[in-house]
Structure 1
Amino acid sequence: MSTTERPPRTLGRAETFKRDWLDGFVGAYGRLVRKVPDAYGVAARHAPERGKVAVVIGGGCGHYPAFAGLVGRGLATGAVVGDVFTSPSAEQVYRTARAVEGGAGVLFSYGNYQGDVLHFGLAARRLAAEGVETRTVLVTDDVASGPADAPERRRGVAGDFMVFKVAGAAAERGDDLDTVAALAERANANTRTFGIAFDGCTLPGASEPLFTVNAHEMELGLGIHGEPGIRTVPRLDAVGVADELVNGLLPELPTGGDGRVVVLLNGLGTTKYEDMFVLYKRVHERLAAEGLNPLHTEVGEFVTSLDMAGVSLTVLALDDDLAPLYAAPCETPAYRSSGATWEQVPPSSTVDESLERPDDTQVAGVVDRLLTAGMVRLEQNEDELGRLDAVAADGDHGLGMTRGIRAAVAAARRAESDGESISGALLAAGTAFADAAGGASGALYGVLLAETGAGLAQAGGITAASLAEAVDRATAAFVELGGAQPGDKTMLDALEPFRVTLRAEADAGADLVRAWNTAAERATRAAADTADLTPTKGRAARLAQRSQGYADPGATSFALLVSAIGDELKKEN
């Protein structure tokens, strides 16, 4: 490989991807599945089971957990695996079916793609010639891939899971082949899916994605192999994405039911679970508002598309026959259930006032006014603080500081509106800062504010001397809690010069405004000087050399905060 070529974005080699991942999969989950001899297929360890219908699923790889990950008791009996995004051959389908067939026939179920239809169909004809009965249920849940009046033209996507789950449970229960097929057909008829893609996917061994989506746009209805969607729209936030998903499904849902539904929010490859939970909050609200009753929900990866960024929403409308089958227990490598409990779950909506930004024009008292000035300054520098933090840590310092200072301002405003003293307002602000910001910085800023307030509570009035005494006390608590020493490249490298200068100015008889601003100027210079230090504390210590030449984010945020407070004090003076 030349130095100008980009390396592959995946670990697997294109030539051996199917073989290698399947061998690793069987090795990892050999307690549940086994490799079909001389075939690219997976069988449940208990198969074949005499007198029970074998449910055989399959398709191209690149969609894990579909299809091999859904093999096990109570779900699929076997899965046949094709190359990436390519149907398995009829020979592989036949060998897999033969390995799991127990004398009661075989139900084939797979997405409605031409290659799969042809090869599974050929295998079914061969089995029939040998006296093995088969039935086929094509999954056609993708509402974006065909008109409602021609469902046979629609593709199968994440709704595969719903159909396979019902079919597997019916087979496990001992239903005959016709009954298993009929129930799987009903599950398919009651299942709808709509998906959204934010970016493309990368084939094994490739250095570039198969296709891309503009960073400021998203594709509605894009297929799991990159098939064109129905339209391109500007990138939306979580509420907007959730609304598009629900709006895409609602007109398509079966009518005449009682509102009981199973919901699946499916990640297509790289969408994080936390992001999907953010989406599901709105999805649940919308479905409930439409009179639907999500009795069981799954959020996770069930039918993916390699590393595609995106999500799909699937809804299965339940009836009295489908409900116990979906609820039945199963155990596979990718999905386990001891039995679903049908229970109506109301939407969850937490009220957290600390997440709201306080109005910076409606101040209630001295502490509120000074901290509000600090809030505005920190907000203006949020990105820069994050950039400094990302050099050798996790990049969240800017966000944590704005989150903490907003909560501190809100708490101080409430306290002063309720008649609290300056010390009481500072104590409330410190507690709120630590709670909202979290992390080490949140705790340390919290103790600074709270201990400064505690120190002022013991003073007869607020002067440069009493404030210096309170800051001395707060710094001692800071060091005791954090364990840092000057020179460790932490916030203390700005705090300690600030403390020393404030004390010196107070001892020299300076008034409060001059003493504070002189100390703030010293803290600003000290924060800049931390660029020459090497960190020995926290996450940055593990990547110490990377931080050379960059100021410490904690020292920088401290300098910004005290400088903003100093500027506000000068205005009042």
Structure 2
Amino acid sequence: MTRLWNDPANFADEMIAGFVTAHQRYVRRVSGGVVRSTVSPDQQVAVVIGGGSGHYPAFGGLVGQGLAHGAAMGNLFASPSAAQVYSVAAAAHRGGGVLLSYGNYAGDVLNFDAAQDKLRAEGIACETVVVTDDIFSAPPAEKHKRRGIAGDLTVFRAAAAAAETGYDLTRVVEIARRANERTRSFGVAFGGCTLPGAEEPLFTVPDRRMAVGLGIHGEPGIDETDVPTADGLADLLVGQLLDELPEGVATADGARVVPVLNGLGSLKYEEMFVVYRRVAELLDAAGAEVVDPHVGEYCTSFDLAGTSLTLFWLDDELERLWDTPVDTPAYRRGAVAPAPRQDATTTVTTSAGGPVTVPPADEESRAAAETVRAVLEATARTMDTHADDLGRLDQIAGDGDHGIGMRRGAHAALAAAADAATAGAGARTTLQHAADAWSERAGGTSGALWGVMLCAVAARLGDTRKPSAVDVAAGVAAATQEVMMFGKAAVGDKTLVDALVPFSTELTRAAEAGASLAAAWTDAAGAAARAAAATADLLPRVGRARPHAERSLGTPDPGAHSLALVVAAVAVVLDDSGRT
């Protein structure tokens, strides 16, 4: 269990602050994460990595000479927001373009892609390589859908070495893709991890049993077996990985390979050494030549009791790059010539602090802004009430943090909206501030999607006059289209879209028929609740729950259920306020 924290909501920020203070030789803080505190050469490609916090040394611990130029660090087990990724990438950029690389999770893809679009729009060359090393998360024919786990290290290191050597962006991308194609990983767990402030772990494993094929965010394993001996575990790990050699490696016999035995949080080094002894024997028996073996913690999951094995199959160029010296807070190889320190000052931003500048608004819109604030108060209360239940729903086929993320996002949105409304903002500006704060603080897939939804609705409210029911319905319709485009989900995929589409359809129908906003919203909320409940009969086709599709049968989708809870709470506010 996690034992030390202050306010769990501030854990990630306080952790990053302490990390930077302890490692100023290597990193400095910028909004959204960290970048090197040393000077990188002009025109060098900047390799920017990232993901949720809670995986140390991934991701901030891998920033330094010879490895990453920056790391976008999201909240606990939640992807960084698009704004955070953009901020880190812009700070790391040295004129040679940016490579974004991260594990293949839905929230990370949404947010990193949005940041990439913004960088490109500003004339900064930017490319992306996602890490897909987890062999148990999808079959070989769908390896582009696989998750990224401890194989992050090999891809990040190969790409950064290419950048350090002076390769241009095109060649750095090619190296990163080749490294990813030649990396395979497989993990097991004996017990789940517990987030700060949580009373229970994200998942549990029965005593003397082992989860096979788990994810690093607490996603349950694909299978479960009795706990084997150390040698038995090595046999399982190596056997599975040798059964799927990458393209270009016809046989293990004669091939050169970097093995990475990774501890996931609470497995002791001594235990891993016992396992690695047998791993080395098996690789030798297969004829593989081991290069630079790694045994340690490279991508953890808080206190998760488990381990993973990564095999990185080298070619001549990748092996030359692998020898590039590295000096970071948590990972060092060879001797690096010290580089001069940056003169830049530390910059830290918060989601709800400092003065708020707002455009002019009339009295009617300012009154509507107060309704926005009341709606977000109800949303935050609802998430406080249901966060644990949403987490339990998410544990069944996901990573169990949906309730935590929704509560975090709702409270951040409320704080930002309160600041804007107090400063005299109209409805549009108030809700826009809330949208930005939700996306920033919640992170992950739901944070990105709720940011998109609130932003789309805000655009239809305006900062002048009283919004009508038709205005609000048009905003929700626009939000629905943007979510489907942004998240690439459709009705039937078992996501929040399954509740959002019928909600929007009914809201538009009732509003255009002349119903008041309160009446139209209430009818639409009922449609959302029915649709959310019906997702229990669906199998997930996209997102983090997809590898555990069968487990989710009989359970409603957490995202659809949380949407239904929110719109039901809003219906009460609109009815009480007499909105027409």
With normalisation by structure 2, the TM-score equals: 0.56
Residues 67-119 of structure 1, C-alpha deviations (whole Å, 9 max, x = no match):
00000010000000001110100000001001010000000000001111110
- Aligned ranges 1:137-536 → 2 under 5 Å: 137-254=129-246, 255-256=249-250, 258-338=254-334
1:130 maps onto 2:122 in alignment: yes
Taking structure 1 as reference, are residues 190 and 12 closer, same or farther at Cα in structure 2, changes over 3 Å only? farther
Picking from 43, 63, 68, the partner of 1:71 is: 63
Residues 375-413 of structure 1, C-alpha deviations (whole Å, 9 max, x = no match):
xxxxxxxxxxxxxxxxxxxxxxxxxxxxxxxxxxxxxxx
Q: Is the 8 A contact 2:203 2:220 kept in 1?
A: no
Query: Displacement of 1:49 after TM fit?
Result: 3.3
Q: Is the 8 A contact 1:9 1:202 kept in 2?
A: no
Q: Is the 8 A contact 2:42 2:95 kept in 1?
A: yes
Query: Displacement of 1:242 after TM fit?
Result: 1.1
SS in 2 for 1:98: helix
The aligned counterpart of 2:359 is none
SS in 2 for 1:150: helix
SS in 2 for 1:144: coil
Query: Displacement of 1:10 after TM fit?
Result: 4.1
Equivalent-residue separation in structure 1 for 2:232 and 2:335 (angstroms): 33
Q: Is the 8 A contact 1:47 1:77 kept in 2?
A: no
Query: Displacement of 1:40 after TM fit?
Result: 2.4
Gaps of 5+ in 1: 1-6, 341-573
Residues 514-550 of structure 1, C-alpha deviations (whole Å, 9 max, x = no match):
xxxxxxxxxxxxxxxxxxxxxxxxxxxxxxxxxxxxx
Query: Displacement of 1:235 after TM fit?
Result: 1.1
The aligned counterpart of 2:91 is 99
Query: Displacement of 1:216 after TM fit?
Result: 1.2
Taking structure 1 as reference, are residues 12 and 162 closer, same or farther at Cα in structure 2, changes over 3 Å only? farther
Counterpart of 1:136, as a letter, is T
Query: Displacement of 1:12 after TM fit?
Result: 5.3
Q: Is the 8 A contact 1:163 1:188 kept in 2?
A: yes
Q: Is the 8 A contact 1:327 1:339 kept in 2?
A: no
Picking from 26, 31, 34, the partner of 2:25 is: 31
Query: Displacement of 1:273 after TM fit?
Result: 0.6
Query: Displacement of 1:48 after TM fit?
Result: 5.0
Bigger relative CO (Cα 8 Å, ≥ 6 apart): 2
Q: Is the 8 A contact 1:9 1:206 kept in 2?
A: no
Taking structure 1 as reference, are residues 125 and 8 closer, same or farther at Cα in structure 2, changes over 3 Å only? closer
Q: Is the 8 A contact 1:26 1:34 kept in 2?
A: yes
Equivalent-residue separation in structure 1 for 2:2 and 2:276 (angstroms): 33
Equivalent-residue separation in structure 1 for 2:226 and 2:173 (angstroms): 42
Q: Is the 8 A contact 2:2 2:303 kept in 1?
A: no
Counterpart of 1:176, as a letter, is D
Equivalent-residue separation in structure 2 for 1:325 and 1:339 (angstroms): 14
SS in 1 for 2:141: coil
Query: Displacement of 1:9 after TM fit?
Result: 3.5
Counterpart of 1:163, as a letter, is V
Picking from 38, 45, 69, the partner of 1:53 is: 45
Percent identical among aligned pairs is 54
Equivalent-residue separation in structure 2 for 1:216 and 1:48 (angstroms): 49
Runs of 4+ more than 3 Å apart: 7-13
Equivalent-residue separation in structure 2 for 1:12 and 1:236 (angstroms): 38
Taking structure 1 as reference, are residues 267 and 27 closer, same or farther at Cα in structure 2, changes over 3 Å only? same
Q: Is the 8 A contact 2:33 2:73 kept in 1?
A: yes
| Higher gyration radius (CA) | 1
Q: Is the 8 A contact 1:105 1:132 kept in 2?
A: yes
With normalisation by structure 1, the TM-score equals: 0.57
Residues 213-259 of structure 1, C-alpha deviations (whole Å, 9 max, x = no match):
11110011111112232210011111111111112211112223641
Equivalent-residue separation in structure 1 for 2:311 and 2:53 (angstroms): 24
Q: Is the 8 A contact 2:2 2:195 kept in 1?
A: no
Taking structure 1 as reference, are residues 10 and 222 closer, same or farther at Cα in structure 2, changes over 3 Å only? farther
Q: What is the Cα-based RMSD across aligned positions, in Å? A: 1.5
